[in-house]
């Protein structure tokens, strides 16, 4: 399902204009990205959590050059679905 499919489905089921639904969906995604970019998690009860995970520094190997490199500690976005969400998907 794409963003356009989501907008069409919400518009069809609520009777709202597609332009209004699209701007709402876009703003939602922007707020989630900005919040996570600032290191804050986003919790949506009954849906899941958008969390910022920290990956520790690690040593990796470049096989073609036979060298060792250090990958610094960095943050990655992650999604953890709620129990209700998991039960519905199963």
Q: How much is the pLDDT for 8?
A: 96
Q: Which pLDDT tens digit goes with each residue over 51-76? A: 999 999 999 998 899 899 999 999 99
Q: How much is the pLDDT for 3?
A: 95
Burial class from Cβ neighbours inside 10 Å (0-12, 13-18, 19+) for residue 7 reads buried
Sorting pLDDT into bands at 50, 70 and 90, what band is 78?
very high
Rounded to the nearest integer, the mean pLDDT of the chain is 95
Cα–Cα distance list, 77 to 13, 22, 33, 39, 52 (Å):
30, 23, 9, 10, 5
């Amino acid at each position: 399902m794409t963003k356009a499919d989501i907008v069409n489905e919400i518009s069809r089921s609520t009777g709202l204009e597609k332009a209004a639904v699209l701007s709402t969906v876009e703003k939602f995604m922007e707020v989630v990205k900005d919040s996570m970019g600032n290191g804050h998690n986003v919790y949506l009860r009954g849906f899941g959590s958008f969390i910022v995970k920290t990956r520790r520094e690690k040593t990796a190997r470049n096989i073609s050059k036979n060298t060792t490199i250090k990958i610094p500690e960095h943050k990655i976005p992650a999604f953890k679905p709620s129990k209700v969400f998991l039960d519905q998907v199963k």
